[in-house]
Amino acid sequence: MIRQPIITVLGHVDHGKTSLLDAIRDTRVASKEEGAITQHIGATEVPIDAIHNVAGPLIKKFGFNLTIPGLLFIDTPGHEAFTNLRKRGGGIADLAILVIDINQGIQPQTIEAIEILRAYKVPFVIALTKIDSLNFYSSKKGNFIDNLSTHNERSKQLFDEKLYTIVGELYKYGFEGERYDRCVFGKQIPMVPCSAHTKEGLAELITLLAGLSQKYLEKKLEISFEECAKAAVLESKEEKGLGKTIDVLLYQGTLNVNDDIAVLGKNGVIQTKVRILLQPKPMQEIRSTKDKFSSVKSVSAACGVKITAPKLEEVLAGSTLIQIRTGKEVDELHAELMEHNIEADINGLVFKADAIGSLEAMTNLLNKEGYTLRKAQIGNITRKDVMEAASLQAQDSLLGVVLGFNVQVDLDAQIEADKRGVKIFNEKVIYHLIENYKNWVEEKKRLEKQNEMNCLVMPVEFELIRGKVFRNNKPAIVGVRINVGKLREGWRVMNKEGEVIGKIEGIQSDGKSVEEAKLGEEVAVSIGGANIGRNLFEGDKLYSCIPIKHYAGLTKYLSELSEEEKELLQIIKNKQKTTEEEE
């Protein structure tokens, strides 16, 4: 007996993965998701009868003799933040669809998906989506090849140019692709042009998936009833009339009502007994539950199934469910739990997530960005988390935050955060979370740099404009032009010999006081200690007198200075007298 092949869908964000599955099962799932990106693995069963209904003539044309019971899709998130979740999907997948937008071609997450498929040695077909958006091609429901034949030669040529551009991109990553009707199976990757909107090409895609599974994976799909049942927990939810339930993808063995099972919970391994098994009716995605499930006594891999059992309140989404036979299964889950929780006495970020998949994903993404983690755990954001983040603020203000993915913030945690000035980032879309934190870090760094630079005396050269002496002394008031850099109130200034002339006591532009004068501006300045005709003359060039201790800061922010300011900095350093007494 053979099971349905498990098919995973990978690709770049917004290239149409979920929309493609919507078209196959004719339901609307993508529109229900946060941020239009599928956040948790979904499962869809397409039975063999439906495959024959959709693609019967093509199955005969290709000569496929199908004995598989159907196809089971897992809809794996496409954004790069979900690396580990995708690897879990890739790890249990028999076959994959790599979704590529025909207009955008290979993108960063496409490359990542290719590497995952290569690492796990998962065979795949390419769905070239959104052909209905091509302005030279009229897409309509039906077979792609039949529709293409109705177009003129110029349209066919333009279509091939689009397709073979992607073939060239694919070749750079070690794979040879070809349009499915020209493909040498086993040597080339079949590429199926299709549209989720018009449903063109879907019959060919389903035919290839079924036929290739039958031809190349039949031995792998054989079910052994001796194997311990294993499943991936997709979601934990409350169902009216049932209480707490878990949705799982069974990928190994057979699971029965009354079986003892072990699954990961927030506080360790949960051991319980299966009370009810609810299997989705064919062609229905497992998250759309209303009137769509029927009770069964036993289920075999591969399938999506809903389980009711005692003690499911704290089950973690993304964890492994194992049928207990010897007791060693419990030890296996303990080891898995220890892998995911991080708690270390180091300077790092505090992160809380709702599920193992998002915990892994965020941990990897933060590590990739160069951040370290002090704590990474599953659960709501608590007062203890805020206190921990607050303790880090004095050492590193950028770490004095709490990151949360799809979790609740306890009331006392929010009160403590407001009191201590701890920023809480809590998002339902994981890439928003990391982007928002990164943007906050950049803004924080920008403000800190700005504040530090505002405290530094910068290199400036300005000259007295002839005929613009308004007072000779106590203080001298003159008109000046800024030649290099900017001039601020409170700075001491010197002449070309390095002698201190006085201190800028005020700056006016158009009769109004300003804090600084910028490059090219002409302003009136008052200089305390200056005396026109004695130590200061019309046409003189003056320079900022930079305190020795400011040079370290200027060196730190040297890249922020213009080339003229950098040159002037060295000139000023040479002019300044080493015996000068700093204020």
Q: Is the peptide bond before 302 cis (omega within 30 degrees of 0)?
A: yes
Q: What letter represents residue 227's amino acid?
A: E
CB 233 within 8 A of CB 247: yes
Q: Which DSSP string do the residues of 147-181 spell out, in sequence order?
A: HHTTS-HHHHHHHHHHHHHHHHHHHTTT--EEEGG
CB neighbours of 534 closer than 8 A, spacing ≥ 6?
none
CB neighbours of 151 closer than 8 A, spacing ≥ 6?
137, 138, 159
Partners of 415 in beta bridges: none
Tokens of 193: 């042009």
Q: How far is CA 379 from CA 95, 372, 407, in A?
A: 34, 20, 7
Q: What letter represents residue 478's amino acid?
A: V
CB 446 within 8 A of CB 454: no
Tokens of 569: 């900095």
CB 209 within 8 A of CB 125: yes
CB 28 within 8 A of CB 18: no
Give the rounded distance of the alpha carbon of 405 from its chain centre. 12
CB neighbours of 166 closer than 8 A, spacing ≥ 6?
100, 102, 105, 106, 128, 177, 191
Give the rounded distance of the alpha carbon of 298 from its chain centre. 38
Tell me how crowded residue 564 is: count the other CB atoms within 10 A of its CB: 14
Helices (H), ranges, 322-476: 328-340, 356-368, 383-393, 411-420, 430-454
Of 12, 79, 432, 550, catalytic: 79
Cα separation, 232 vs 28, whole angstroms: 23
Q: Is the peptide bond before 475 cis (omega within 30 degrees of 0)?
A: yes
CB neighbours of 179 closer than 8 A, spacing ≥ 6?
163, 190, 191, 193
- Give the angle subtended at the CA of 119 by the CAs of 115 and 123, to the nearest 5°: 85
CB neighbours of 294 closer than 8 A, spacing ≥ 6?
278, 279, 281
Cα separation, 317 vs 276, whole angstroms: 19
Catalytic residue flag (residue 79):
yes
Partners of 188 in beta bridges: 185
State the first-to-last Cα distance of the chain, in angstroms, to the nearest integer.
89
Cα separation, 92 vs 90, whole angstroms: 6
Partners of 377 in beta bridges: 352
Beta strand extents in 76-156 (DSSP E only): 95-101, 124-129
Cα separation, 27 vs 21, whole angstroms: 8
Report residue 245: phi and psi, to 5°: -130, 165
SS (H, E, C) 42-61: EEEEEEHHHHHHHHHHHHHH
Q: Which residues are catalytic?
A: 79
